[in-house]
Amino acid sequence: MSETVFDPKMLEALVCPETHGTLEYKADTHELVSKNAGLAFPIRGGIPVMLVDEARTID
């Protein structure tokens, strides 16, 4: 099964649920990253999972 591609234009409408700040798309890990919150939100089936409980902590 192939992975659905994330549309980077979605970044214009999305913000971090923790800080309400901007997000950065990381194609190599297929995540949206909030540097201010130190969180990486997964993208599954082309849909960002914007739940803090589903995010992984980053340095």
For each of the domains in the chain, give its residue range(s) and CATH number, in order of start. 8-57 (2.20.25.10)
Measured distance CA(59)–CA(22) in Å, rounded = 17
**Residue type for position 35:** K
C-alpha dihedral, 48 to 11 to 53 to 56, nearest 10°: 90
- Detail the DSSP E strand segments found in the chain: 24-26, 31-34, 39-44, 47-48, 56-57
Chain segment 12-59, per-residue pLDDT in tens: 899 999 999 999 999 899 999 999 999 999 999 889 999 999 999 998
Q: What is the per-residue pLDDT for 3?
A: 57
3-state SS assignment for residue 13: coil
For the whole model, what pTM was predicted?
A: 0.87
Chain segment 40-52, per-residue pLDDT in tens: 999 998 899 999 9
